[in-house]
Structure 1
Amino acid sequence: MYPIMLDMNNKLCVVIGGGKIAYRKVVPLLKAGANIHIVSPEICDEINKLWTEQKVKVYLKEVEKADYEHAFMIIAATNSKEINEQIYKNSSENQLVNIVSDQEMGNFHIPASAVRGRLVISVSTGGASPTLAKKIRNDLLEQFDESYEGYLDFLWEARKKIKNSILSQTMKSNLLNELGEEKYKDFEFERNRFMARLNDILVD
């Protein structure tokens, strides 16, 4: 499998199925800004709430090929293996398809993941053990705690300022390398000192 971070903003994602599993697939897609259509004769309370809040579109019907033929991403999460398989067979080779009931059938699977601000932690065991993937993810979450949110915001802001500046390439490289020092991860006042110094350099 080829690991990738995917921009889903405003991309059409069709989720077939309206149960708890479908809901769990929908939540991270919503956070990623996807345009989500859900097709299912019945939906769980959680999906109904999202529908009521106009966060997703819901079509209370049996799925047809026309429902997903223009989708960027398709997630088949019905409780029928036959329907899920038919969805995959009807999809085009240019569509991203995840078959919840059979990870080997689709062309991508969704790893165990967690988000801390700009930090995204994803773990996959290649389908060998989703339980182990979740355990490793949880272990990593303990290692990379909430403090990384502020740290990564600092790195993002500093890097953006440096990259967009008219400083020499050597100066840019030196500043970017300095950002990797441990003190900036552990001490907020060191981050503030760096930003103050960087602002002075850019003004000069």
Structure 2
Amino acid sequence: MTPSTRTDVVIRTYGPGQIPPLLDTIADIWADAHPELVDTPGASTDGLSVPALRRQVLGHLKHEGFTLVAAYASGSMIGFGYAFPCTPEYWYGDLLPQIPEHVRVGRLMGLCELAVTPARQSQGIGARLHAELLKAIAPEWSSLLVRPDNTAGRGLYDRLGYKYAGPYRNEPGGPVYDLLLLQVGPTLPKLRRSDK
């Protein structure tokens, strides 16, 4: 666990073995951040429910490089995000042929979730969580799925520089998401003292 502080919010970074005790808290934050999904008919079958989130997180723990970042204020978690490095084949699925070659060969981070409790939204916490994930994983490209009707999330991703890459379905007959891409840049080697 690595802390990063600024103002009253502390960001901590966690690896896969540290996640199970946090699962209830991140599920609660996800539910608070997505009240429109909690009681929506069909949300659980579309993978947009607290039980689906729990299954998703536990299933993703097996990915090498899995990283979860959490924001805390006054000792309580107020937001989280998680991601992992992944292959283009895994992440893009049927959309892969539409992804430009230069994107497919770069180191890719799949951003799976980013949620901040409503009382702390629009305070830069989501952007800080995103920045910590980029720092921890050091990708050349980041990609995520967002519901087309998620205007708050889409606004954040637009401000972070993500661009629309195409429509995406996790499974046949499932909901259509917007697949977004962000060029982070090539991972640059650290300068040796003699290179300065």
Which TM-score bucket, shorter chain as reference? under 0.3
The answer to which structure, 1 or 2, has the higher relative contact order (CA under 8 A, 6+ apart) is: 2
Structure holding more helix per residue = 1
Larger radius of gyration: 1
| Structure with the larger strand share | 2
Give the TM-score, by structure 2 length: 0.25
